[in-house]
Homo-oligomer: A and B are copies of this chain.
Amino acid sequence: MNTLYVIGIGPGAYKKMTIEAAEALKKSDLIVGYTVYVDLIKEHFPEKEYMSTPMKREVDRCELAFEEAMKGKTVAMICSGDAGVYGMTGLMYEIGVRYPFVELRLIGGLTAATSGAAVLGAPLIHDFAVISLSDLLTPWEKIEKRVSLAAAADFVICLYNPSSKKRQDYLQRACDLVLEHQKPDTVCGYVKNIGRCGEEGHVLTLGELRETQVDMFTTVWIGNSQTKNIEGKMVTPRGYRNV
């Protein structure tokens, strides 16, 4: 069996990768990924062979990884964050049925929900929902329904892909849906460039978030009814002090 690693490299900084991920990259002959993430890894493993495909060429990228693994190379498919959260792992299993002689080995990484949370404080200490606002692969009506029901359930909500050039008002629309269930002073936060050069975290209210323009390198957290701003940090209590 040929081994094909699917590796979450975390937010970007080398030391935020797991020890296992770094070891698997060292063992690999070829590293495959989306152009941006390949560039992040290249400086730490300059001696490896690299191949990349642009966004929207995910199927090609996965097939490329399997084909190269079939040639006997040890291949690593890399994703930012965790490869199992809006990443390539699912597609790799779907395509993998055609490559019975390649064994997938999944290696976890820090996904933005948790790595960005650590920049803001402690927003995810209680139940939470993770929702992507990208309607490239999901109907917007389904996204709206999830945002509404998550707010009705008083989940902390983490939003991936909150904005893009074509979707400049999506975050505002999501905030309006949450505002049907949560107060305008609900504590929220957003982080730009998590774990990378230019990292920037902001804690603000839901009312303020609604008026904020974020970019596609930003992740957003909307607190639940209990979330507090403690000295500028976003903190969701769990009730240990009431026991």
Name A's B-contacting residues (CB within 8 A).
8, 10, 13-20, 22-23, 56, 58-59, 82, 84-87, 89-94, 96-97, 106-111, 114-115, 117-118, 121-132, 136-138, 142-143, 145-146, 149-150, 152-155, 230-231, 233, 235-243
Check B110 against A108 for contact (C-beta < 8 Å).
Answer: yes
Query: Which residue of B22, B146, B240 contacts A19 across the interface (Cβ within 8 Å)?
Result: B22
Most buried by B among A86, A131, A238: A238
A-B contact sample (10 more), CB < 8 A, given A82-B117, A149-B153: A16-B19, A56-B243, A84-B117, A89-B118, A91-B240, A126-B138, A137-B242, A145-B153, A146-B155, A149-B152
Query: Chain B contacts of A153 at CB under 8 A?
Result: 129, 145-146, 149-150
Query: Chain B contacts of A59 at CB under 8 A?
Result: 240-241
Contact of A131 with B127 at beta-carbon distance under 8 Å, contacts A18-B19, A230-B97 already known: yes
What 9 pairs across the A-B complex have the smallest Cβ distances? Answer: A90-B125, A89-B122, A149-B153, A90-B122, A137-B239, A106-B118, A15-B20, A15-B19, A129-B129
Query: Chain B contacts of A154 at CB under 8 A?
Result: 142, 145-146
Query: Chain B contacts of A85 at CB under 8 A?
Result: 114, 117, 124-125
Most buried by B among A96, A138, A149, A241: A149
Check A237 against B128 for contact (C-beta < 8 Å).
Answer: no
